[in-house]
Each structure stands twice: as C-alpha cells, then as structure tokens.
C-alpha cells in the first residue's frame, strides 16, 4: 500500500477514534453513565454503529480510551510546565501548581461515578507511577541543589506532595489552589543546620 494511503487511513482511524471519545465524553456529561449506548456514541460521533464497533467492542472501551487520552494529556501538560531551562525548584513549583489545577478541574468535571469507575483501571496505575517518578526526580534534583530538604527521601516527599494536592479538587477558587501549593512547598523547604 502506498505511503500516502497508509497515512490517510491512519489519519482517518485516529479521527474516528477521537470523534467517538469526544462523543462519549459529551454524552456522559449530559446523561451520565447508566444509559450510555454504542448507538448514542455512534450517532453523536457522526459514524455508523458498525464502524464504531470496528474500533471499540463496547461503550466501556470507548470510555477507557477517552480516559487514557485525558491522562496522557495531563501528564504531557505537567511535563511541559516544568521548563528544563529553569532550576529544579522552579520546575517543581510549576509542576505542582499544574497538578493542583488538574485536580481542581477533574474533580469538577469528572467526579462521582465516573471517577470511581475509571480510577480502578490498569492505565491509571501506570500513570500514577509515571507521575510519582516525575515529581520524585524533580524533588531529588532540587534537594541536590540545596533548595529542598534532604532528611526525607524524595519518594516520600513526592507522595506527600501528591496526596496533599489532591485537596485542590475541593478548593473554592484559584487563589485557594495557589495557597495550597505554597503550603505544600513549605513542607519541602531545606532545613537550616542546627546552630545556624
């Protein structure tokens, strides 16, 4: 098959998958999970039901694919927030601020039954591991620079930050999110030597 055809077919497949995931997300937001059907997703996506079944075996598969896409976008956003040209402590602050904002947005738009269903998936465990490793590496680098405490392991501090910032999901506004990030970062501050 010529390369142009392959690229066109791949682009078409990606467009159908994206349309189905976007349609599913809109339907869940409007109607909830209980009544979600493949027919509704296909109609909203503008594709035939038979076509949709070529890409996804059922509505749960569409939902899982959508959630995987969301998580990937969140992780990419976190990585992009941590500008490699900046010192580690600045990158850490930017990453934690972004994480808190994502928590705030996700709790508002994807809470309840949807969160309970999706967060039991294997792809969520992989994403959590990647997120923790990313934050842990930033903390370790900032500790080597003397900007973050080194009397607690970077892994434990990463857990502390991520757990503390899940509270951003219940924050009233962006000022509250910023304060939460500031308080969380205060727990990471390097300790002065005794007698100094």
Q: pLDDT per residue over 89-126, tens digit each?
A: 999 999 999 999 998 987 765 555 555 555 566 777 88
Rounded to whole angstroms, the Cα distance separating 37 from 14 reads 21
Q: For residue 130, give every residue at least 6 positions away whose Cβ sits within 8 Å of its Cβ, in sequence order, or none.
A: 75
Please spell the DSSP secondary structure of 62-92, one letter per residue.
HHHHHHHHHHHHHHHHHHHHS-TTS-HHHHH
**Phi/psi of residue 58, nearest 5 degrees:** -165, 175
Query: How many other C-beta atoms are found inside a 10 Å radius of the C-beta of residue 56?
Result: 21
C-alpha 34: how far from chain center: 24
Question: What pTM was computed for the model?
Answer: 0.77
User: What are the Cα distances from residue 183, in Å, to 3, 39, 140?
Assistant: 54, 48, 19
Question: Can you list the domains of the chain with their CATH numbers?
Answer: 1-57 (1.10.10.60), 63-191 (1.10.357.10)
- Kindly report, residue by residue over 122-147, the tens digit of the pLDDT: 777 888 899 999 999 999 999 999 99
């Amino acid at each position: 098959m010529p390369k142009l055809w392959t690229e066109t077919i791949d682009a078409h497949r990606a467009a159908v998958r994206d349309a189905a995931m976007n349609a599913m997300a809109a339907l869940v937001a409007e109607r909830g999970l209980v009544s979600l059907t493949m027919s509704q997703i296909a109609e909203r996506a503008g594709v035939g039901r038979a076509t949709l079944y070529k890409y996804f075996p059922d509505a749960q598969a569409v939902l899982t694919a959508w959630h995987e896409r969301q998580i990937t976008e969140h992780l990419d956003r976190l990585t992009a927030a941590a500008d490699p040209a900046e010192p580690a402590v600045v990158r850490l602050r930017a990453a934690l601020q972004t994480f808190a904002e994502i928590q705030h947005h996700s709790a508002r738009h994807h809470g309840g039954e949807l969160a309970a269903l999706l967060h039991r998936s294997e792809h969520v465990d992989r994403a959590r591991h990647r997120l923790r490793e990313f934050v842990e590496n930033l903390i370790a680098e900032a500790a080597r620079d003397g900007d973050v405490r080194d009397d607690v392991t970077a892994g434990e501090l990463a857990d502390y930050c991520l757990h503390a910032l899940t509270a951003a999901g219940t924050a009233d506004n962006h000022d509250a999110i910023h304060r939460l990030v500031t308080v969380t970062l205060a727990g990471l501050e390097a300790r002065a030597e005794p007698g100094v």
